[in-house]
Amino acid sequence: MPSESTEVKRIVMYLRGGKGNVGQIRTERLLQFAFEETLVIAPYYRGYEGNGQDEFGGRDQADVVYLIRLLNDMYPDIPIHLIGFSRGGLQGLLTFEQAPVTSFVFWAGVSSIYYMYEERPDLRGLLHKLVGDPITDKAAYDKREAIQHITSEAPPVMIIHGTLDKNVGVKHAMLLDEQLETLKVHHELHIIEGEAHVFQPNALDRILQEIHRFMLECEVERNK
């Protein structure tokens, strides 16, 4: 992260996965994105340590939008890049057009809450508690069905997913890719063979280089 004397040329906001106290923000994770002249920041969603109620893409979206707008006020004209991991992918897709960002990295992310309900029977109890039943509470699920809320005005998106991911199936990446293709949104698809939800060191190093390259290219396009 830049020191007080270093000029901030970009901001990376990391949107974590998990729920409540599960999937806490770790310093070592944020440091992976501390590229040169980069400020790295991550919001705590409401529900962390009993602070409010996590609604899994409900009012907790406001925590992300508010922080983006605050950063825009503090650092006008500085590009902001979102990185959404796992549940953070859903969070980012639901918010990245409400508060302007330069790019969005969708990493092992949830793009469809309906498909998440289908593929993870072990999480249905949690979803019932936080969102409701997908039939009787269809409006709540539709509100969180991220891929259906994307428009052609979306910023560039980089999709990253491992083929062996058992936490969030690779189909989420393919669903998002198809939707972005239909909307003609600039995007890249990186399906990493043999990697699970958390990448091994060699694959991690390579994808971090690709993320940095993608951000720099998006900044060049932004400044044209």
* Catalytic site positions: 86, 197
69, 74, 79, 82 alpha-carbon torsion, rounded to 10°: -50
Report in angstroms the alpha-carbon separations of 4 from 1, 13, 121. Answer: 10, 19, 48
Query: Phi and psi for 222 in degrees, rounded to 5?
Result: -60, -35
> Cα–Cα distance between 59 and 55 in angstroms, integer?
6
130, 136, 137, 138 alpha-carbon torsion, rounded to 10°: 130
Total residue count of the chain as it appears in this document:
224
Nearest CA-CA partner of 120 in 94, 89, 86, 91:
86
The C-alpha angle 54, 13, 28, rounded to 5 degrees, equals 90
Paired tokens of 17: 């996965």
Nearest CA-CA partner of 105 in 217, 202, 223, 5:
217
